[in-house]
Chain A
Amino acid sequence: KAGVTQTPRYLIKTRGQQVTLSCSPISGHRSVSWYQQTPGQGLQFLFEYFSETQRNKGNFPGRFSGRQFSNSRSEMNVSTLELGDSALYLCASSPQTVTDTQYFGPGTRLTVL
C-alpha cells in the first residue's frame, strides 16, 4: 500500500495570507489527524477527522480549520497567517482512531515571512 502523502512539501507565505495543505491517507484508513511541530512546542495535536466529521480539536485558534472528503483525503487551512505559524505540519492516518498505530506523512514545511 502507498504511504501517507502530503502536498506541498514546502511552502513559503507572507503574514496575512492563507494556506491550504493536503493529506492523502493510506487506502482504507478513515481517521486522519493533523499535528503541528515546532522546535519550541514540539508536536501538538490540531484536529482529527473521521468519516468527514471533525471528531476532536486541539487548543488552536479558529484560524486553523480542516475538512475531510468522502475518500478520506483531508485538507487543513490556516487563514491570516502569523509568523508563529511557521512549522512542520504533519498528518497521520489510521484505520479507526488515534489509539490505532499512526502512519505519518512526510510533512509540509511552512515558512511565514
Chain B
Amino acid sequence: KNEVEQSPQNLTAQEGEFITINCSYSVGISALHWLQQHPGGGIVSLFMLSSGKKKHGRLIATINIQEKHSSLHITASHPRDSAVYICAVAGVLGGSNYKLTFGKGTLLTVNP
C-alpha cells in the first residue's frame, strides 16, 4: 500500500463545476503540499498545509490531521485548470529531517 493515496486518478468535468480531489496518507507528517503540473510543464506549488484550511482564488485546500486526509477543491472550474494535481506529504524523520512522499496524481480535464 502506498503511503499517499489520491483519488480519483482521473477526473473529467464541465466548465463551472465544483471539483474535489482527495489525498489520504498513512504516516505522521509535518506538512502536506498540493502541487499542479500542466502537460509538458513544470510543477507549481499551490498550497502548503500543516493544519486547517487555506484559500487562494478559486482553490481551497483542507487538511484533517487526525483523519490523515486532505482535500483540494476547485470552485467554478475552468479549462485552464486542466492539469495533474499531486499531493505530497512531508514525513517526519526526526529533527529537521523530513522526506517528501508523493501521490500518483489526479489528471483533471475540464471541458468548455
A residues adjacent to B (C-beta < 8 A): 33, 35, 42-45, 48, 50, 55-56, 58, 90, 92, 96-107
Contacts and interface: CB of A to CB of B under 8 A. Distances in A.
B99 A105 contact: no
Contact of A104 (B44, B48, B90, B103): B44
B99 A102 contact: no
A42 B100 contact: no
Interface string B5-23: 0000000000000000000
Given A99-B31, A101-B48, A102-B33, A45 B100 contact: yes
A90 B43 contact: yes
Contacts of B101: 45
A103 B102 contact: no
B106 to A, nearest CB: 11
B4 to A, nearest CB: 10
A99 B43 contact: no
Contact of A98 (B35, B86, B99): B99
Contacts of A92: 43
B57 interface: no
A102 B45 contact: yes
B42 A56 contact: no
Contact of B98 (A43, A98, A101): A98
Give the most central of B43, B90, B104: most A CB within 10 Å.
B43
A99 B42 contact: no
Given A99-B48, A103-B45, A104-B42, A33 B100 contact: yes
A45 B99 contact: yes
B98 A99 contact: yes
Nearest to A44: B102
A50 to B, nearest CB: 8
Interface in B84-112: 86, 88, 90, 93, 96-105
Contacts of A56: 93, 97-99
